[in-house]
Amino acid sequence: MIAALAQVSGNIGATLKQYGALQAIPAEQKQAVRNEMYLAAETIKRLQADHSLILPTATQQNLQALKTALNGATQFIPTWVKVAVALALGLGTMVGWRRIVTTLGEKIGKSQLNYAQGISAQMVAMGTIGAADAFGLPVSTTHVLSSGVAGTMAANRSGLQFGTLRNMVLAWVLTLPAAALLSAALYWIMTSL
């Protein structure tokens, strides 16, 4: 693994030396270079996690510095993306908050959500999302919270409205392919301009 890391790092270094900066690398080569950078950073992460491997302190420091530099170049979010996502989430919540609240609080169960059920669902959502984050697993906060509310309704014997649950599951299943198709179409349109 160390030999492969050395070769990939050498390739990245040679490419950067040839072009002088990441921005100067031709567009057709950028994706390959970014993939090599990401691969090298992930390899260093795995090496650091392998406690059976004993490396000199200087080597460990060099690997950490290289990983930090590689991650700085590959794992960033441009400011305009942060602003666009914040606006989209804010506008979506402003427009759809009442429907979300009504669905979660009144339509999952056959009776309205009470305070104990609400706090129980929120605590489970917090724990589940925290655990998923710790293990690097992708989860949807909406799915986790909705499932928590359904669980509290079942535990309280309040009854579940299966029509609402069916619609939610259908929406969850369709969200992934619909979002993938829409983002692919938008990407194609943006790159064609």
Tens place of pLDDT for every residue, the chain, 193 residues?
778 888 888 889 899 899 988 888 998 898 899 999 999 999 999 888 888 888 888 988 999 999 999 998 888 888 999 999 999 999 998 998 888 888 888 889 888 888 999 999 999 999 999 999 999 888 888 889 999 999 999 998 888 889 988 998 898 899 889 999 999 999 999 888 8
Give dist(CA 104, CA 98) in Å, integer.
10
Structural contact between residues 48 and 79, judged by C-beta atoms closer than 8 angstroms: no
| pLDDT for res 178 | 94
| pLDDT for res 171 | 87
DSSP, res 109: B
CA angle 183, 186, 187 (to 5 degrees): 85
| pLDDT for res 74 | 86
- For 68-106, the three-class secondary structure string (H helix, E strand, C coil) is HHHHHHHCCCCHHHHHHHHHHHHHHHHHHHHHHHHHHHH
| pLDDT for res 105 | 83
| pLDDT for res 50 | 86
- For 12-54, the three-class secondary structure string (H helix, E strand, C coil) is HHHHHHHHCCHHHCCHHHHHHHHHHHHHHHHHHHHHHHCCCCC
| pLDDT for res 77 | 85
Q: Which residues contact 132 (CB under 8 A, 6 or more apart)?
A: 138, 139
Residue 88: name the closest of 99, 80, 98 by CA.
80
| pLDDT for res 90 | 93
